[in-house]
Amino acid sequence: MEDDNKRHREKMRKIKAARDRMMATKTDKKGLIIVHTGPGKGKSSSGFGMVMRCIAHGMPCAVVQFIKGNWKTGEADFLRDRFSDECTFVISGEGFTWETQDRERDIAAAQAGWAKAKDLIRNPEITFVLLDEINIALRYGYLDIDEVVEFLLTEKPAMTHVVLTGRNAKPELIEAADLVTEMTLVKHPFRDGIKAQAGVEF
Amino acid sequence: MEDDNKRHREKMRKIKAARDRMMATKTDKKGLIIVHTGPGKGKSSSGFGMVMRCIAHGMPCAVVQFIKGNWKTGEADFLRDRFSDECTFVISGEGFTWETQDRERDIAAAQAGWAKAKDLIRNPEITFVLLDEINIALRYGYLDIDEVVEFLLTEKPAMTHVVLTGRNAKPELIEAADLVTEMTLVKHPFRDGIKAQAGVEF
């Protein structure tokens, strides 16, 4: 047992030294383009977890929710009812596209959301913007991927973070991003007839 | 253009019909064992996003943070300062294990956190419990995986959700879980010398 502890201490000492050396090289800060994609859970909810962190740090932030318009979600209620000073919340769209079945209305909603998103990203007071489910609008061609990428690369203020979520992120966006995470589905209770539940899914 | 819209409408009608049929089979509710693992970002932050949803829905919830003890995190400040009525927040541990370099102290902290976690999970008032970074404590053997899995399968109230986060989730836990997401790292700015930043990482 004493030997175990000694070996453990020695191993941890080496890990800490290696980590400290590595961290010493990480000295820069910059506003990041962050993408959460993939079929697994956690793409939007981790975006909202970051919004919570921003509010905690006193960083003014904003959310534009594409596509999820006619859903009643916990995160929308929470931020609009309790943190409207700290977080600007915009809903653009009227539900997933197969709900509306009206392509022109969906395009108009997505474009209106993107116009608002550009204003929020350009706003120097705001340093964190979550574009929730924008990848769906990009995938269906409701927004032009080249325009979105060009805007992010040329007009996003240097210290502003922008998080873009949704399945099937376009390759052009992944190429432009600084931080990309793919949420992979390992196991899902939908397969066993379990429906979406409050707290977990919305 | 009119043809495009017509084709789109027809396609969306079929997607909606298929989705409605599929959703009609998803009628059950149950408390889920949820695991967020993998090397990518979003494991903890999506857990905190779900906590935000629970607070929004008026579902009393709890967080036990393993391992991250001596970090000052936005989520801890936010929940403890503003939502202590809605969310019980317990910190167990004194930082990642390579920071303390003291195995016995780490084991004692993890065990104390687990004892508290069991009380919170058993509490019928609480229906969502986030065990943040518990996978690290399990991986280092600070907690016994068989005991944790047995407790979740036999003592967790039927309608309570428990979320377990951290890299390298044990196979036994993945086997027992209902919903497992692996966060995969596609691209990370650490490689370019960018350090952890407020809002994004903590």
Give A31-55 pLDDT, tens digit per residue: 999 999 999 999 999 999 999 999 9
Whether residue B183 and residue A179 make contact (CB cut-off 8 A), yes or no, is no
Report the C-alpha gap between A37 and A182 in whole angstroms: 5
Split at pLDDT 50, 70, 90, the class of B188 is confident
Q: Which of B25, B29, B103, B130 to mutate to probe the A interface, most A CBs <10 Å?
A: B103
Report the C-alpha gap between A167 and A35 in whole angstroms: 10
Whether residue B97 and residue A12 make contact (CB cut-off 8 A), yes or no, is yes
**What DSSP string describes B145-165?**
HHHHHHHHHHHS-TT-EEEEE
Is the pLDDT reported for residue A26 higher than 80?
no
- For residue B110, the model assigns a pLDDT of 92
Split at pLDDT 50, 70, 90, the class of A192 is low
Evaluate whether B47 touches B68 at the Cβ level (below 8 Å).
Answer: no
Q: Which of A127, A187, A191 to mutate to probe the B interface, most B CBs <10 Å?
A: A187
Evaluate whether A156 touches A33 at the Cβ level (below 8 Å).
Answer: yes
Quick check: A73 contacting B, CB < 8 Å? yes
Please report the beta strands in A11-108, taking only residues with DSSP state E, as ranges in sequence order.
Answer: 33-37, 61-66, 87-92
Rounded to an integer, the average pLDDT of B153-179 is 95
Domains of chain A by range and CATH? 30-192 (3.40.50.300)
Chain B residues close to A78, C-beta within 8 Å: 52-53, 55-56
Quick check: B153 contacting A, CB < 8 Å? no
- For residue A187, the model assigns a pLDDT of 83
Q: What is the mean pLDDT of chain A?
A: 87
Task: Tell me what percent of the residues of chain A surpass a pLDDT of 90.
Answer: 56
Q: Which of A83, A186, A192, A202 to mutate to probe the B interface, most B CBs <10 Å?
A: A186
Evaluate whether B38 touches A133 at the Cβ level (below 8 Å).
Answer: no
Which residue carries 């503003």 as its tokens? B82
ipTM for the complex shown? 0.76
Closest CA to A114 of A43, A164, A78: A164
Closest CA to A84 of A62, A102, A101: A62
Summarize pLDDT for A95-139 with one digit per residue, the tens: 555 566 678 888 888 999 999 999 999 999 999 999 999 999 999
- For residue B18, the model assigns a pLDDT of 78
The angle subtended at Cα A110 by Cα A104 and Cα A113, nearest 5°, is 140
Is the pLDDT reported for residue B184 higher than 80?
yes
